[in-house]
Structure 1
Amino acid sequence: MASAQFNTTPSRKTYDVVIIGGAIYGSAVAWFLSDNPDFDGSILVIERDPSYENSATAHTNSCIRQQFSNPLNVQISQFGAEFIKGFKGAMGNDPRVPELSIQSYGYMYLADTDEFADQLRTAQKVQLDQGAATQLMTPEQIKAAYPFYNVDDIKLGSINLVDEGYWDGGTVFEWWRRSARERGAEFLAGEVVSMSVSGSRVQSVTLASGDVIGCGKIVNATGPRGAKTAKMAGIDIPVEPRKRFTWIFTAEQPLDRDLPLTIDPSGVHFRQDGPTTYLAGGHSDYDPAVDFDDFTMDHALWQDHIWPVIATRIPQFESIKVTAEWAGHYDTNTMDHNAILGPHPEVENFFFLNGFSGHGLQQSPAMGRGTSEMLIYGEYRTLDLSPFGYERIAAGQKFVEDAVI
């Protein structure tokens, strides 16, 4: 169905903005551009796989949280939450667009060491300063609120039950794409294989089909392939695809209340998925970059690591059955696990939207809006996202986010 929305040849020889990558970030930028009355240019979104089958967007667990260590990331998620809850209004109250909400069962971080507990306390202060509702919980408080947890080894928990949990990212993605197209943005099925760079600008991109397309500005929204795309412009970024695994399971004895998205000290995470289903995620200790097309499951990982962690933390989950599983990719910024955003200082019409390291979907409203502002005005008009700029990468100055799952 998605491929029917794509052209196979461009309708023009040149576009004001060419966006490489048509998943949630490419679609977000296209929509925010088309939504801004100060922009009347032409938009081309180029997507190599219109089915989106192996895109990071398709493999997401679609959650949002404010429990970050960096105040700007907290603000980004707060805008995201408001955008999600006001989505129908943001889309002009189009009667076709559904009302959306956030299933706010919260993220439950569990600390089993004094050091980790101190990190949660420090992060909570950052979050409270930004207006978040994060609560710290003693093991006794955790047990009283969620009797199913084994907290024998836990020193502290942290949870936020306001605007933190599951949201329908697929619907937002669908309507961004559909609305942008209805407003004139063109979506093209094709793969960019090279760029022509002259002086300080990318002049054109060449597709595998042989089509050459001129560009006023170019946006790299290619997810785990972001470094490959940047390389075409002669630019290096520390972004690589790393494999992340997801399992859906049912329990012989379902819990009597919603399961927060629980981040076990081991790094394994699990949450409520449907009324009687649960979701778990994790990765192996050996976590190298992988091939772009490597989505092979590691079945031993579930049996040897993921399930034992879950069953230890929630003894009621000793008898569970996996009903679905998949592997996806994080577009991991290996330098500081934060996004790389904005224009390149030398190739001035090349814009980054890369390296989200697992929290990309929830940041797409703020980052899509900010990128559109930079494309139109040459500056950020709402949230100042300049700390994510490429300059820090070139200088080796980390803009750190500690709360990475």
Structure 2
Amino acid sequence: MSTTQFDTTPSRSAYDVIIVGGAIMGSSTAWFLTNNPDFDGTVLVVERDPTYEFCSTAHTNSCMRQQFSNELNVRISQFAANFVKNLREYMGNDERVPQLSIRSFGYMYLADNEAFASVLRENLAVQKAAGAATQLMTPDQIAAAYPFYNVYDIVLGSINLVDEGYWDGSAVFDWWRRQAQEHGAEYIANEVTAMTRNANGTRIDSVTLASGETITCGQVVNASGPRAARTSAMAGIDIPVEPRKRYSWVFKADTPLDRDLPLTIDPSGVHVRENGGGTYQCGGHSDIDPAVAYDDFAMDQDIWENHVWPILATRIPQFEAIKVTNEWAGHYSMNVFDHNAIMGPHTQVENFLFLNGFSGHGLQQSPAMGRGTAEWLTYGEYRSLDMTPFNYERIERGEPLIEKAVI
């Protein structure tokens, strides 16, 4: 969406809900709010860069999986699969909305030691209990099904070929944004630069925009991706969310594989997936993984030459002869506390809600997270999936909700 489709100044001086950030999480929340007949309030979405060039949504793998170690995360992705496959129905049978599907080539987790193999077995039990179709594979089974892999060092694999793979995240994002606006949500190209709390510090009374306006608010949603800690700091709140750089490469193989490549998570952490037409997409990061500046998207060619490509060529020998056709760096919104979402209201600033820290699996969680946040804003409670385990108060208690399956 171009900047010409966003005004820069709000049409009102007060809104019931102000959403800080208009990418996938903010737009999901705006859509679920404006699509809910029980919500009749006003919504302002403040997006600092409506080109979305550098947002995490634009840099995603656009894949979903059910292979998580936490049952709630499994069920969140199951809802995402249902939402994507029934997008037009969810959007009121609007004939403009495309019919989407999931290209279920699966995620293949490869374990090269018994400790990680035990984790895969433990995760399998969680996933099976939630109804996922995950299966474990021995090295011989992997080699038979996917003969292009080198499995000399592999102990165990884990894959799910049902509702696990590529989906068109950009289409869902576009239609959330479009319908939210058609249903009354107001998007502006601007930036929240300050927030004012009431005298006893229990509520956000107003936000100030970069253009100078002060806007009164009923509730505020922090949906600002890797900039989440900066937004929370305006409310006087610290959260353990940092921008972490993640590199992606698209390449063409001289000799393409003869079947779909699952999104393969090598034991090194390098991952690679089918992209179609003899092209593939892979990702990785440096061994040292510091927080980076919000505007740091510089590539590091040494990582490709000395780390990622050698690992790819070892795991899949046909990838010794490849040509990179595109590359970019994006940011994970990394929750360094426990790699899980932070959502729901703050414990003291009661009208400040979090939608942060998705640690690389935000796109696939966006349907359930937007729905849950909209429910809380409308009813003061979750009415579909119970998202309270993700609430901010666990941060204050120092009780992490660990997610082991982070890529």
Give CA-to-partner distance per residue, 1:264-319, whole Å, 9 cap, x none.
00000000012211000000001000000000001000000000000000011110
The corresponding residue for 2:281 is 279
The Cα shift of 1:3 comes to: 1.3
How far apart, in 2, do the equivalents of 1:291 and 1:261 lie? 29
Give the 3-state SS of the residue equivalent to 1:364 in structure 2. Answer: helix
Matches within 5 A, 1:64-213: 64-198=64-198, 199=200, 200-213=202-215
Measure how far apart 1:90 and its partner are: 0.4
Aligned to 2:230: 228
Superposed displacement of residue 85, structure 1: 0.4
Q: Tell me the distance in 1 between the aligned counterparts of 2:112 and 2:31.
A: 43
2:323 match: secondary structure:
strand
Q: Is 1:300 the equivalent of 2:291?
A: no
Q: In structure 1, how many angstroms separate the alpha carbons of the residues matched to 2:281 and 2:188?
A: 34
Instruction: Tell me which residue corresponds to 1:46.
Output: 46
- Using the alignment, how far apart are the partners of 1:105 and 1:253 within structure 2? 19
Tell me which amino acid in the other structure corresponds to 2:256.
Answer: P
Between the aligned residues of both structures, percent identity stands at: 68
SS at match of 1:357: coil
Q: For the residues of structure 1 that align with 2:252 and 2:210, how far apart are their CA atoms? A: 44
Aligned-residue offset at 1:336: 0.2
Matched residue SS, 1:262: strand
- Cα deviations across residues 145-165 of structure 1 (Å, max 9, x unaligned)? 000000010010000000000
Match of residue 243 from structure 1: 245
- Aligned with 1:142: secondary structure? helix
Question: What is the distance in 2 between the residues matched to 1:41 and 1:345?
Answer: 24
Work out which of the residue numbers 371, 374, 388 in structure 2 matches 1:372.
Answer: 374
Secondary structure, aligned partner of 2:405? coil
What letter matches 2:272 in structure 1?
F
Q: Provide the residue aligned with 1:358 in structure 2.
A: 360
Could you say what the CA RMSD is over the residues aligned between the two structures, in angstroms?
0.6
2-side partners of 1:307 and 1:371: how far apart? 40
SS of the residue corresponding to residue 53 of structure 1 reads: coil
Q: Distance in 2 between matches of 1:5 and 1:336?
A: 38
Alpha-carbon displacement from aligned partner over 1:187-238 (angstroms, at most 9, x marks no partner): 0110111001113110000011101111000000000000000000000000
Question: 1:15 matched to which residue of 2?
Answer: 15
Q: 1:136 and 1:275 mapped to 2: Cα distance?
A: 28
- 1:5 counterpart letter in structure 2: Q
TM-score, scaled to structure 2: 0.99
Distance across 1 between alignment mates of 2:75 and 2:65 = 11
The two structures have a TM-score, normalised by structure 1, of: 0.99
CA distance in 2, matches of 1:256, 1:274: 12
In the aligned structure 1, how far is the partner of 2:302 from the partner of 2:234? 38
| C-alpha distance in 1 between matches for 2:213 and 2:406 | 40
Using the TM superposition, give the Cα deviation of residue 5 of structure 1 relative to its aligned residue in structure 2, in angstroms.
2.1
Q: For 2:88, give the aligned amino acid.
A: K
Task: Give every structure 1 segment of 4 or more consecutive aligned residues whose post-TM-superposition deviation is greater than 4 Å.
Answer: none
Distance in 1 between the 2:324 and 2:369 partners? 35
SS at match of 2:170: helix
C-alpha distance after superposition, 1:86-132 (max 9, x if no partner): 00110111111000000000000000001111110110010000000
User: Matched residue of 2:57: which SS?
Assistant: coil
Give the length in aligned residue pairs: 405
- Alignment partner, residue 349 of structure 1: 351
Distance 2:40 2:5 in 1: 22
**2:398 matched residue in structure 1:** 396
Describe how 1:255-274 pairs up with structure 2 within 5 A: 255-274=257-276
| Secondary structure in structure 2 of the residue aligned to 1:58 | helix
- Report the Cα offset of residue 2 of structure 1: 2.4
Unmatched segments (≥5 aa) in structure 2 = none
